[in-house]
Amino acid sequence: MLTILDVVRRSTGFFEKCGVPQPRLDAEWIIAHSLNLARMDLYLQFERTLEEAQLAPIRKLVKRRGAREPLQHLIGFVDFAGLRITCDKRALIPRPETEEFIEILNGEFAAKPPLRILDLGTGSGVLALAFAKIFPSAQVVATDISSDALELAQENAAIHKLSDKVSFRLGNWFESLPKNESAFDLIVSNPPYLSHQEWECTQPEVRAHDPKLALVSENEGFDHLFDILTAAKQHLCPGGLLAMETGELHHELLIERAQEAGLSNARGMKDLSKRPRFFLAARPLE
């Protein structure tokens, strides 16, 4: 008879051979999920023996993870900024850097919370929902060009009872919004910014399972960043902030272009591993 600990160890060993980046952690998540336990509860039950009926579903998931299906698709969620976000093929799996992005913006608005927020390319809805929770008096608009992604984002909003705080609109970037509305205190986006070449070098979990549409942009990853930057001013209220996640090599040119787009105080910010990954610029007060 195999104990939980035996299964954790065997699965970890198998994942190591398959090149899974966090073998032990993923083994624990999959086993806990299959047994309907919280991951930490496994530690209290390591000596518990498992029946064949319990082992069969674990084996299936371990095999799929070994073939490099993302953990978040197998267990169906990711825990993000205090929200359990449902994940599947319809949208990008939220990344840990995006949690840092939220922290930074939370700091920027410490004195005066934003009342109207726009999330461009909402995907799973993660940024829109996190901000709706952090800033309870804000109304959030979230757009996406993919109707699949919007469907997932709406499901996530319903799960977290935030559907009345966030309105979802189908369309490319600002397309679904009235022009010159100048309404938003904060425009956020984690747009596609990888070059084709960078995308080719991503892990199999990313390349084969995240929508390519959510990751890749033409012109060395610049195209979508420029599109958003160029149109941001007419949708920001005076003093409003545009904040985007970017690649590491994008800031210099974005800072130049921000000026041309009528934005001020353009600056890059680094993530916790000191990589320049966040770009901020404001509409001047006038």
Question: Can you read off the two tokens belonging to residue 50?
Answer: 């498992």
CA 189 – CA 228 distance, rounded (Å) = 9
Shortest Cβ distance from residue 63 to ligand GLN (Å)?
27
User: What is the smallest separation between the CB atom of 192 and ligand GLN, expressed in angstroms?
Assistant: 5
Q: Please, which residue, 214 or 258, has the CB nearer to ligand GLN?
A: 214
The residue among 123 and 247 lying less far from ligand GLN, judged by its C-beta, is 123
CB of 191 to ligand GLN, least distance (A): 6
Residue closer to ligand GLN (CB basis): 12 or 146: 146
Pairwise CA distance, residues 113 & 270, whole Å: 23
Q: Which amino acid is at 186?
A: L
Query: Residue 49 is encoded by which pair of tokens?
Result: 């023996």
Q: Which is nearer to ligand GLN, 11 or 122 (CB)?
A: 122
Q: Where are the alpha helices (DSSP H) in 91-160?
A: 96-108, 126-134, 147-159
The residue number whose beta carbon is nearest to ligand GLN equals 123
Residue 4 or 149: the one with the smaller Cβ distance to ligand GLN is: 149
Q: Are strands 276-282 and 116-120 parallel, antiparallel or unpaired?
A: unpaired
With 0-12 / 13-18 / 19 or more C-beta atoms within 10 angstroms meaning exposed / middle / buried, residue 238 is exposed
Of 55 and 269, nearer to ligand GLN (C-beta) is 269
Q: With CA atoms as reference, report the closest residue to 245 among 192, 171, 173, 286.
A: 192
> Smallest distance, Å, CB 285 to ligand GLN?
28
Ranges of H-type helices in the chain: 4-18, 23-34, 39-42, 52-66, 71-75, 96-108, 126-134, 147-159, 196-200, 204-209, 223-232, 251-260
* Residue placing its CB nearer to ligand GLN in the complex, 15 or 279: 279
Query: For residue 45, what are the CA distances in angstroms to 1, 5, 53, 258, 279?
Result: 15, 8, 18, 56, 46
Q: Considering beta carbons, is residue 74 or 150 the nearer one to ligand GLN?
A: 150
Which residues contact ligand GLN by CB under 6 A?
A: 91-92, 94, 98, 121-124, 126-127, 190-192, 214
In whole angstroms, how far apart are CA 86 and each of 36, 79, 153, 231, 284? 16, 9, 9, 31, 38
Instruction: Give me the least distance between CB of 148 and ligand GLN, in Å please.
Output: 11
The total number of residues written for the chain in this structure: 286
Rounded to a whole number of angstroms, the minimum distance from the CB of residue 31 to ligand GLN is: 27
Nearest distance, CB of residue 269 and ligand GLN, angstroms: 16
How near is the Cβ of 252 to ligand GLN at its closest, in Å?
22
- Identify any residues that bridge with 242 across adjacent strands, giving them in sequence order: 187, 281
